[in-house]
Amino acid sequence: MSSRIISITGAVIVGLIIIALVATEWIAHTIDDRLNRVIAHEPYTVSPEAQVLHSRLHLADLHGDSLLWDRNILKRHNYGHIDVPRLIEGRHAIQNFTIVTKSPSGQNMEENTGDTDQITQLVIVNKWPVRTWGSLTERALYQADKLHRFASRSDDLMVVAFSEDVAALMTARNGSASPVGGLLGIEGSHALEGDLANLERLYAAGIRTVGLHHFFDNALGGSAHGVSKEGLTDFGKSVVQYADQLGMIIDVAHSSPASIDDVLELATRPIIDSHTGVRGQCDNQRNLYDRHAAAIGDGGGLIGIGFWDWAVCESTPAAIARGIRYAVDVAGIDHVAFGSDYDGSIKSPLDTSESVVLIDELIKQGFSDEEIEKISGGNVIAFMERNLPHRAQ
């Protein structure tokens, strides 16, 4: 073969590689844009009272799946729901970046099995390391590392993993809107791959909120959207107990009612439901029974109210505020927070930069400035400072 032919062949191969890389980036962007939509709306009009109050708040959100997507969260985007510039604009002090590792095909609210997985395709398209293609634990660790790497490149983002980090964050903000504290959590403990030792690996990576289930039953027990609707298995109970010992925070979002009953009986520390609604306001199996919401509040926990239609029965800021009002009436003012589910394949009426709209709606619901300060972020900030582990001396 002549050198000229070899040269042409090499150029063709390089060209094909470039085309393939561009195509995969386009596919990744398209998937993100299609699944994580802000519902089209005219610019919101908010009261001067809401604008003034918002300007001095430090907000927090208990659930956002942004690390799953091929998106540089340090840059502002015109798609999706979360990035650091928009978090700053919305005056968010803490964002819980929750890690998705598996999701069944045909995902629905009623009944799913764990036999299929849509995330594998996304992992490959997004060019994640090969070690993540077949391991849920590696997928969780990779996403945690993404947040750490983003934080290492920006003064506007810091990872919050210990109680002392929360105090340092609020000192650094000093009344301003930056830096943003990134908390890490998992959505579904199938990420442990049935091995309790992997909980220590996730802890070492900075993961602090432990969602037990997602859309299917797993080795820990029944999901609200699984087949069995059963409670925790022995392994599930051991995960709850060991997470408690490590100082990790149990998250019962997506867990079956029977599993939540078991967690409430076992847990020795306050728990959360990071993104949900309450059935008395919006009745479907995705949401907490009122008795569970009350019990989480009685135990010192937090309930994050979601920003999508299944959580509050309508995709509007007013519906989110109504869901929050109902949850406060059931669980108490100190135990309700924002739990958006941003970037979790939902259509939301607003993104994180538009949070002043929710402040306005909470004012309309009759909440005082002090109560709005708690709901919008104060409850999460105080909870994390109390319940995150202390840094070893």
102-112 pLDDT tens trace: 999 999 999 99
Average of per-residue pLDDT across 274-296: 97
95 within some domain: yes
352 within some domain: yes
- The larger pLDDT score, comparing residue 74 to residue 21, is at 74
Residue 5 has pLDDT above 70, yes or no: no
Q: How far apart are CA 223 and CA 229, in angstroms?
A: 6
**Does residue 285 contact residue 224 with C-beta atoms inside 8 Å?**
yes
Whether omega before 179 lies within 30 degrees of 0, making that bond cis, reads yes
pLDDT digits (tens, 9 = 90+) for 195-223: 999 999 999 999 999 999 999 999 999 99
Helix, strand, or coil here: 98? strand
pTM of the predicted model as reported, rounded to 2 decimal places: 0.93
pLDDT digits (tens, 9 = 90+) for 121-157: 999 999 999 999 999 999 999 999 999 999 999 999 9
pLDDT of residue 4: 60
**Does residue 312 contact residue 281 with C-beta atoms inside 8 Å?**
yes
When pLDDT is cut at 50, 70 and 90, the band that residue 25 belongs to is: low
- Average per-residue pLDDT for the chain: 94
**Domain containing 51: what range?**
47-387
Residue 294 has pLDDT above 50, yes or no: yes
Which DSSP helix (H) or strand (E) runs through 211?
strand 207-211
247 within some domain: yes
Q: How many residues does the chain have?
A: 393
Average of per-residue pLDDT across 85-103: 98
Q: How far apart are CA 114 and CA 194, in angstroms?
A: 14
Residue 48 has pLDDT above 50, yes or no: yes
Helix, strand, or coil here: 271? coil
Helix, strand, or coil here: 302? strand
87 within some domain: yes
- Pure H helices in the chain: 3-35, 48-54, 84-89, 119-125, 136-152, 163-173, 197-204, 234-246, 257-266, 290-298, 309-312, 317-331, 356-364, 369-373, 379-387
Q: What percent of the chain has pLDDT over 70?
A: 93
Residue 238 has pLDDT above 90, yes or no: yes
pLDDT of residue 18: 42
Q: How far apart are CA 23 and CA 340, in angstroms?
A: 31
182 within some domain: yes
21 within some domain: no
When pLDDT is cut at 50, 70 and 90, the band that residue 22 belongs to is: very low
> Rounded to 10 degrees, what is the CA torsion of 226, 231, 233, 239?
100
The total of structural domains in the chain comes to: 1
Q: Work out the end-to-end distance of the chain between its first and last CA atoms, rounded to an integer number of angstroms.
A: 67
298 within some domain: yes
pLDDT digits (tens, 9 = 90+) for 343-363: 999 999 999 999 999 999 999
pLDDT of residue 26: 66
Taking only Cα atoms into account, the Rg of the chain, rounded to an integer number of angstroms, comes to 21
Average of per-residue pLDDT across 235-255: 98
Among 3-17, 178-192, 365-379, the least confident range: 3-17
CATH code for the domain of 264: 3.20.20.140
pLDDT of residue 10: 52
pLDDT of residue 20: 45
pLDDT of residue 392: 82
Q: How far is CA 250 from the centre of its chain?
A: 13
Residue 247 has pLDDT above 60, yes or no: yes
328 within some domain: yes
Residue 62 has pLDDT above 70, yes or no: yes
